[in-house]
Amino acid sequence: MTTLLTVLSTLLWWVLYSSIGALFFAIIAWTVLRWIERCPVVFNRTYLACLVWNLIGLAIVTAVAMHEGHLQPPFAPLLGSALLRGALVVDMLIGVLVLWRLIPRIDAHRIRPTSACMAVAVMMAIGFGIATSLAG
């Protein structure tokens, strides 16, 4: 019973932290996409895309951290590992795909893949900047 409650609690916190991060990144992505597309994009779909991407991304980074054995601070050695760098590249590709497929413009056209690439690049730059400042 304790194991079941632990797993349930972990899943609940995973979704909670992902939704908080998704809101922060959705505001950034929405702003970047409005600027690049020169057309309004739907914010709730931007939030949904960022939530899906954060859920997948947290699972990938957690799996890499478990494999590397860096589940407790300090996380600086984890940020320097080649496996995490490869996982972040895969995560960015997933982010581009998810944003491109899920976010429509207000005129019902899909955003361009290059716009999704730019939005993911901006979000990853900000996220990696925050992560390195907290880990250092």
Residue-wise pLDDT tens digits, 15-67? 998 899 899 999 999 999 999 999 999 999 999 999 999 999 999 999 999 99
Q: Which two tokens stand for residue 2?
A: 């304790």
CA distance between the termini of the chain: 38
The mean predicted confidence, pLDDT, of the chain is: 91
Q: What is the pLDDT of residues 92-121, one digit of tens each?
A: 999 999 999 999 998 889 999 999 999 999
Q: At what angle do helices 43-68 and 2-37 cross, to 10 degrees?
A: 130
Spatial separation of the C-alpha atoms in residues 51 and 13, rounded to whole Å: 14
Q: What is the pLDDT of residue 131?
A: 77
DSSP label of 109: P
* CA nearest to 111, candidates 122, 121, 96, 125: 96
- Whether the per-residue pLDDT at 135 is higher than 90: the answer is no
Indicate if the pLDDT at residue 136 is higher than 70: no
